Amino acid sequence: MENRSEHLLEAYFANSLNASEAEELNTLLKTDPKLAVEFRFQQQIARTVKEQSLRSGIANADWAKATIPPATEVTGTAIKRNMWARYLYAAAAMITLLVLARVYIPGGNNGQLIAEQTAPYPNKMTFKSLGGTNQPVPPEVIEAFSLYDQGKYPEAAQALGSVVSAYPDNIDYRFYWGVSLVHAQQYPGAIKALEPISQSQNDFKTASYYYLGLAYAGNKEMDQAKSLLQRYLDATDGVSFRKQAKKVLEGL
């Protein structure tokens, strides 16, 4: 392709054509088949970038800005496009980067979906005793569940972790520890906390499928996440968080 044609094509996509250049480019597109093919190729890349835009699912502001589709305006008979990058030959590579961003940038689609669909679990502890009817509940347990009730999940997770270490046989404490870790988005720890419950006959077993599924999804172990969320939905008592579990399962 001649240098003049290349210059006009580049100027078109860089939004720097003046009126006379726009007219010249239109004339060349009608008479130069090779230029017309190249022009259509670059237009297709621009459309692909627009169609593959992931800006609605990328929390990072810089990535989101990079995916905003170009505005259009008519000058003469040519359409100018305000592109975020000057050279559209790099657009295909950008699409790949955006797809990777969706997976690896914190706060991407899956991370946001999981956080939004993590429902709180009510505190059902009676706190009558630990080892006998006359034995009071230790203050550290009361404090840990107070943090849980206030929705201070990172602090509750830390406090309940200490409680579980002190009372390893109390599986109920372990469940609330795991739920707190899911809310705090500390997914590897949540998996460790909740796995024993999902394999037990405890009253929290079915609920643990839901929270454990969220933890695996947050940890990007999608096969495990899908299996557990489906197990929750299939359970006869998997009612409380059915809507949230279905949304996450559909989004994975």
One-character DSSP codes across 98-126:
HHHHHHHSTTSHHHHHHHHT---------
Nearest Cα neighbor of 69 from 81, 57, 78, 86 is 81
For residues 39 and 161, state if they share a domain.
no
Share above pLDDT 90 across residues of the chain, in percent, rounded to a whole number: 45
**Is a pLDDT exceeding 70 seen at residue 79?**
no
Relative orientation angle of helices 187-198 and 153-166, to the nearest 10 degrees: 50
Instruction: Give the tens place of pLDDT for each residue, 215-230.
Output: 999 999 999 999 999 9
Q: Which helix (H) or strand (E) holds 196?
A: helix 187-198
* Least confident among 13-17, 26-30, 242-246: 13-17
The arithmetic mean of pLDDT across residues 179-195, rounded, is 96
Length of the chain: 252
Residue 133 and residue 229: Cα distance in Å, rounded? 38
**Is a pLDDT exceeding 90 seen at residue 206?**
yes
For residues 65 and 135, state if they share a domain.
no
Q: Which residues of 16-53 are buried (b: 16+ CB within 10 A; e: fewer)?
A: ebeeebbebbeebbeeeeebeebbeebeebbeebeeeb
pLDDT-derived band at 150 (thresholds 50, 70, 90) equals very high
Q: How many domains does the chain have?
A: 2
For residues 50 and 174, state if they share a domain.
no
The C-alpha angle with vertex 173 and arms to 167 and 177, in degrees rounded to 5, equals 115
For residues 174 and 70, state if they share a domain.
no
Residue 45 and residue 182: Cα distance in Å, rounded? 40
The arithmetic mean of pLDDT across residues 148-164, rounded, is 95
For residues 52 and 166, state if they share a domain.
no
For residues 128 and 237, state if they share a domain.
yes
For residues 65 and 88, state if they share a domain.
yes
Q: Which residue in the block uniquely carries the two structure tokens 């003046």?
A: 18
For residues 118 and 190, state if they share a domain.
yes
Instruction: Give the tens place of pLDDT for each residue, 84-111.
Output: 344 444 555 556 555 555 544 444 468 8
Phi, psi of 75 (to 5 degrees): -125, 115
Which of 81, 105, 129 is the endpoint of a domain? 105
For residues 134 and 164, state if they share a domain.
yes
For residues 122 and 185, state if they share a domain.
yes
For residues 37 and 123, state if they share a domain.
no
For residues 152 and 234, state if they share a domain.
yes
- pLDDT for 30 equals 87
- pLDDT for 196 equals 95
**Is a pLDDT exceeding 50 seen at residue 116?**
yes
- pLDDT for 98 equals 57
Which of 89, 105, 121 is the endpoint of a domain? 105
Residue 245 and residue 232: Cα distance in Å, rounded? 8
**Is a pLDDT exceeding 90 seen at residue 135?**
no
The arithmetic mean of pLDDT across residues 68-75, rounded, is 41
Q: What residues make up the domain containing 160?
A: 110-251
- pLDDT for 6 equals 81
Across all residues in the chain, what is the average pLDDT? Answer: 78
